[in-house]
Structure formats: structure tokens, C-alpha cells
Amino acid sequence: MNDDDTGIGPVTVVVCNYEGREHLGPCLDAVGALRGEVAEVLLVDNASTDGSVEFVREVYPHVRVLARSSNDGPAAARNEGLLEASTRWVLALDNDALVAPDSLQKLASAAATDPDAVLVQPRSVFDHDPERVHYDGGAFHYAGLIALRNFYRPRAEACGEGVVEVDCAVSVALLCDRERLVELGGWDAAYFILFEDLDLSWRARVRGWKILSVEDALVRHRHGTAGVSFRDGPRYPERRAFYHARNRWRFLAKSFSARTLFFAAPGLALYEAAGLCFALVEGNGGAWLRGKRAFLRQAREARGARDSLAVDRRLGDGALLVGGPLTLTPAVAAGGARRAAAVLLEGALRLWWVVARVLISGRPRA
């Protein structure tokens, strides 16, 4: 690792892993090639059984391994990495993230020039198609989703240059201000997986802290999480249907005011009906229902978290929420009927937002 100054001092790299033995070699090799001052590399392993820990201890002895006794999801692993890090800034990586050699320096430079920045992300591209954007930050859709920027768009056509302020970060690779994230409570481990980065972004933004996307800092994103990630089909994973059904409601209950939920209700109900129809078509109706039941067991705790969040608010819901776009993986909207349904759903959600945004805040936002 090159020890060139990053502009923010030394950085701890935290790699979150579960059953990712196939990814760890390329991931850690990429970390080793980073230019910038890396104080330490930590691997936080969620009780993998595929030999991940043994592999890293043998092949990468400089990496400090934190072997957890159970798999509590990536949020819990990232939080442990934050607490174990000795530096203020932490580069949190999923095990299937391959960072470009100059990415740390670019992320750090952006962080150093903006004291309000708490999360700084690179542009994520597909490992198998690096000229196409996967994740590039986004905004908060009032339906309880991320309205992603440049999703699946060719890099040559992607909007944004240099350092761009965004409202949502995606946790493939994130440079994090450890002190302020610990103050926030870190990632909410109750999500387990899915929506935890949306939730973290919301809690940071309502405090008035900034999230930056550095468009020319790149990370190549490999396969994703087996059994949860969904890109090309053919079938939407049952586990993803469960977590989406549960966690979206958790995010809504934790984050939006009662006023927002009331005036957004027609759009929320429409999206809910569409989500149920999609789950039934995919054979995931049971998973969808189990997700809703699981949320109800969390509902009181989620509402308590919303009350706590209100104490430190600097930005209201109306200052952050948008009505589109509705971001869908191409495979979800594949085929004429599905594509038409997606277009109609997005149009209806946008139409209701024209009314709801005024009722929520009185100030229109696109």
C-alpha cells in the first residue's frame, strides 16, 4: 500500500464478509494496490463456513480478522468495524467490491474539502461491464425507496461530473466519518440486509450532514449477495422479497413523520398493491406476507426510533423527498406487460406527489 497523504490522515479499511471466499482474494488485492495512507485492514467475518477466515489468515497475514460468532448481517459487521477502527475515517467495503487504485485518494480529497461530509462514495460499475453504472447514489423516493442516479446507464451517458452532493449512498464502498457515524448509532442491524444504507443516509441527511458521490472514483461491483441480490433473473429471490416487504415498512415507520405518511398514503397504498401483485406473480406471496408480519413485531420499536430521530432534525421530510424516478432492475420490468405496468405505476406515483409534496411542506420539489 502506498503511503501518499490522503488529505484526511490515515484510513482504516473494513471489509465485510459472509461466505465470500471467492471474492476475498480480488478484493484484498485491490485494497493492497490503493494509493493513500492505509493504517490497517480489518476483515469482519459473519461466521462464514466456506474457509474465508482461514484463507485470509494464511494468504493475507497483515489483515486483522474479526471473526463473529453469528451472522447478524452486514450492518452489524460494519458497525463492529467502525468500533474497532483506530482512525477517524473508515473505508467500508463489501467483499465483492474492487476499488480502483486511485479511488481512496479521490474520496479522501472530497472529504477533506467539505467539513459537513459524513459519507463519500465512489461510482459503482459492474465488474463484468465496467462501462455501465450500477450504483451512483440517489434521492429519497416518498414510497420508501432509493431513486437511484444513472442506474444501469452507460458511463459515457451518465450525468454528473466531479464531486456531486446526493441524498442516499449505497454501501458497496463508502468512506465514512467514523466519529459521526458512531454518534448516529451506525447502521441499523435490525434490517439485517436491504434498506440499511437508505436508513443510514436518511439519519445523516436529516441532521444536515452531507453525502458526496465522486464520479471519477470507481469501484467494480462483482456478484452481490447470493440468495438476495437480483440483476438478471430469472426469478426474484424469495429472501429478497421477504426483506424488501419487511424493511421498507421499517424505514417508513422510522423515518417519515405522521403528517408525511398521511398525505403520502395514496401513493404508498398504490405501490403496496403493485408490490403484492409482483410478489404473487413471482411466487413470493408467502414471503411478502411473512415480511409484513415480521415488521409488525418491530413496529413499536421503529416508532420509538422515529421519535428519537426528531430530536436532532435539521431538515424536514419535504426538504428531502422526491416523487421519482421509480428505480427498477431491468429484469423486473422485462417484457411488454411488465414494462407498461412499471410506466403506469411511476406515472401515478409522480402524479400524486404533485399534490402530496405541497401538503407535506408547501414547497414543491421535483
Residue 333 has pLDDT above 80, yes or no: no
pTM here is: 0.94
Q: What is the CATH number of domain 11-221?
A: 3.90.550.10
Each residue of 264-307: pLDDT tens digit? 999 999 999 999 999 999 999 999 999 999 999 999 999 899 88
Each residue of 221-255: pLDDT tens digit? 998 776 667 766 668 899 999 999 999 999 999 99
Domain segments of the chain: what residues? 11-221, 238-361
Q: Quick one: three-class SS letters along the chain?
A: CECCCCCCCCEEEEEEECCCHHHHHHHHHHHHCCECCEEEEEEEECCCCCCHHHHHHHHCCCCEEEECCCCCHHHHHHHHHHHHCCCCEEEEEECCEEECCCHHHHHHHHHHCCCCEEEEEEEEEECCCCCEEEECCEEEECCCEEEECCCCCEHHHCCCCCEEEECECCCCEEEEEHHHHHHHCCCCHHHCCCCHHHHHHHHHHHCCCEEEEEEEEEEEECCCCCCCCCCCCCCCCHHHHHHHHHHHHHHHHHHCCHHHHHHHHHHHHHHHHHHHHHHHHCCCHHHHHHHHHHHHHHHHHHHHHHHHHHHCCCCCHHHCEECCCCCCCCCCCCCHHHHHHHHHHHHHHHHHHHHHHHHHHCCCCC
What is the reported pLDDT for 337?
87
